[in-house]
Structures are given as C-alpha cells and as structure tokens.
Structure 1
Amino acid sequence: MSATYQADFNLWIDKTAKLLREHRWQEIDLEHLIAEVEDLGKSERRAIISQLIRLLLHLLKWQYQPQRRSDSWLDSITDARTQIELAIQDSPSLKSYPIEQLKESYQKARRQAAKQTGMIISVFPEGCPYSLELVLDEDWLPEASE
C-alpha cells in the first residue's frame, strides 16, 4: 500500500477506505493514514488563518482607503467571516483558534495592506486595532481613518 501512496494518492485513498469499511486492519498503510489524518487538522487550522488574514486585510483597506471601497471588498469581508464561522461549526474545538492567531494574522494582513495600498506600513497600527468580536461581527465595518 505504501507504494500506491507514492504513485497514486487517489487510488491509495480509495483502497484505504475500502480496507477500513471491510475491517481489514492489518492491510492498512497505518503510517500514511495517521499522517493524512493529522494533515486534515492542520488544513482546518490553515484555512481559518487564511480567512482571518484576508478578513483583516480587507478591514484595513476598508478603513484606510474609504475612497476605494467596493462591493468586492465587502463580498470578501462577508465571505471570510462566513468561512471562519463554517470551519468552527464543523470543528467546535477550534472556537478559540482565531483569537490565538489574531496577533500574528494581523501582522501578515498589515504587511499585505501596505503592499496592496502603496501606503507605508507605519500608517497601519502596529497592533490589531480591532477586537476579534468586531472582526467576526457580520454587521461591523471600521470607520474611515483620516
């Protein structure tokens, strides 16, 4: 089974699922199965971080470039909030993960905002100016900055 994992991942998944359904435990490529299950958890966490960065980026752009506000920014903000909410609904144990990642995610969003807007990074606050509660609140948008 290990050779199949290397050569054809989709075939390996199909065979592994079949072996699990048939309770053929001894034939399962346990090493790779464990790695894949662990990667599923990493993938969920990565998805939350990615959406949080995207959300913070667009909130910063919304606040610091009010003249450029667009429906696509609003759509991005709404979608990122929805994706985070859905990920937490699927895995309630990740409920505290966004707050754990807020500081680091904000720093990444801040750097991206500076690049995308052409503004110097010091224009954006060094620390996240928004609470997680506001960031995830579907009815909240930051006010324009002078």
Structure 2
Amino acid sequence: MSANTSKLYDTDYGLWLASQIDSLKSHQWDDLDIDNLIEELEGLNRSNKRELESYLVVILTHLLKWEYQPSARTGSWNGSIFNGRKRIARLLKEQPSLKTYIPEILPDAYADGVEIACRETRMPSDTFPPECPYSISQILDLDFLPGDEELPD
C-alpha cells in the first residue's frame, strides 16, 4: 500500500473508498489500506447494531404508550410502530445475524423506551414493568399491539 492511499483516507474519504473498491475489484491486494478497511468494516457493523437498537427503542416507546395510555392512542403511534418493524425486518433480511444481537440489546432499549415514554406521557416510571413485557416475536410482529388482544369469554 502506498503512503498516499493511507493519507487519502484522512483527506478525501470518497476518493479513498473508490480506490479501495478499485483495488479489490482488480485483485490488487498490495494496494489495500488494510488497517483503515478493518476500521471501516467494524464501524459499519457497529452502525447496523445502533440502527437496530434505535428502531427497537422507538417501537418499545410507542408500544408502552399504546398499552398504558389507551385514551391517547393515535395513528402516528401505530404508524411509528409499523415503520420501525418494517425497517428492522429489512435490516434483518440484509443481515440475519443481527437477530441474535436483539436479546443482548433489548434490556437497554427497553430502559430507554420507558424513559422516553415517561417523558412523553408524564407518567411515573413505576407505571411500566421493570422488565420488557413483550417477547421479541411480539415486538417484531407487524400486527401485534398490546391491549388489542381478544378478551376470553
């Protein structure tokens, strides 16, 4: 790898990226900036995990508001839940291994969702369960909304 390639990473990211793509396509392994490529790939993986967690927080916030403030339910809450679920489905389709990451991030995503729901509803935090009351399959289910279950006869 030339010193210019490494400098390019700091001075013109787009040009550096194009040069790395060209080197990969043409199998010019010696021209690759391995250290910065590793850094970029690790960053991409962290970014995908952050994106997943962000969508989970939004979904959980609105599920909590939907369940614990039924008189204030809005179409935008429903739309936000649906949008988050669709985005997660797309993300998991592109990167199925992220699904195994959900149990790890769910407690923090739920805690954030509770905090946001408290701020938005002005309800005290002890209104909400201390641990996430929804299963992962419920959270990701396009049709699940808490409190909408049919009551037994």
Report the AA paired with residue 35 of structure 2.
Answer: E
Pick the aligned partner of 1:80 from 81, 84, 91.
84
2 CA distance for matches of 1:106 and 1:91? 22
In structure 2, the gaps of 5 or more residues are 149-153
Question: Map of 1:1-146 to 2, 5 A cutoff?
Answer: 1-143=5-147
RMSD: 1.4
Report the AA paired with residue 55 of structure 1.
Answer: I
- Aligned residue-pair number: 144
Superposed structure 1 runs of 4+ greater than 4 Å apart: none
SS at match of 1:96: helix
Indicate the structure (1 or 2) with the bigger Cα radius of gyration: 2
SS at match of 2:45: helix
Q: How far did residue 100 of structure 1 move?
A: 2.4
2 CA distance for matches of 1:46 and 1:125? 24
TM-score normalized with structure 1 length: 0.92
Partner of 2:151: none
1 CA distance for matches of 2:47 and 2:30? 28
Report the AA paired with residue 27 of structure 1.
Answer: D
2 CA distance for matches of 1:68 and 1:61? 8
Deviations 1:87-124 (A, max 9, x none): 11111222222222222210111111111211111111
1 CA distance for matches of 2:117 and 2:21? 44
1 CA distance for matches of 2:79 and 2:20? 39
2 CA distance for matches of 1:47 and 1:103? 16
SS at match of 2:58: helix
SS at match of 1:126: coil
Give % identity: 39
